[in-house]
Copies of this chain bind each other. A is one copy, B any other.
Amino acid sequence: MAELDPGWDVGGGILNGGYLLSVVGRAAVLESPHPHPVALSASYLRAPAAGPATLTVVPGASGRTLAHSLVTLADADGPALTVQTTTATLGSGPSEYSHPMPEVPPVEECFSVAEHRDLAPAGVQVPGLSLRVDTRLDVATAGWAFGQPSGEPVLRAWMRFADGREPDPLALLTFADALPPTSFARGNLGWAPTVQLQVLVRALPAPGWCLVEARSSEISGGWVDEDYRIWDSTGRLVAQSRQLARAPR
Contacts and interface: CB of A to CB of B under 8 A. Distances in A.
Contact of A61 (B46, B202, B237): B46
- Please report whether the interface of chain A is mostly helix, strand, loop or mixed according to DSSP: strand
A95 B219 contact: yes
Interface string A206-249: 00000000001111111101010100000001001010101100
B237 A217 contact: yes
A94 interface: yes
A91 interface: yes
A82 to B, nearest CB: 6
A146 interface: no
A150 to B, nearest CB: 12
A233 to B, nearest CB: 16
Interface stretch (A13-21, A26-34, A36-44, A112-120): A36-44
Contact of A98 (B220, B237, B242, B247): B220
B45 A93 contact: no
Interface of A: 38-39, 41-43, 45-46, 60-61, 65-66, 68, 70, 79, 82, 84, 86, 90-91, 93-99, 153, 186, 195-196, 198, 200, 202-203, 216-223, 225, 227, 229, 237, 240, 242, 244, 246-247
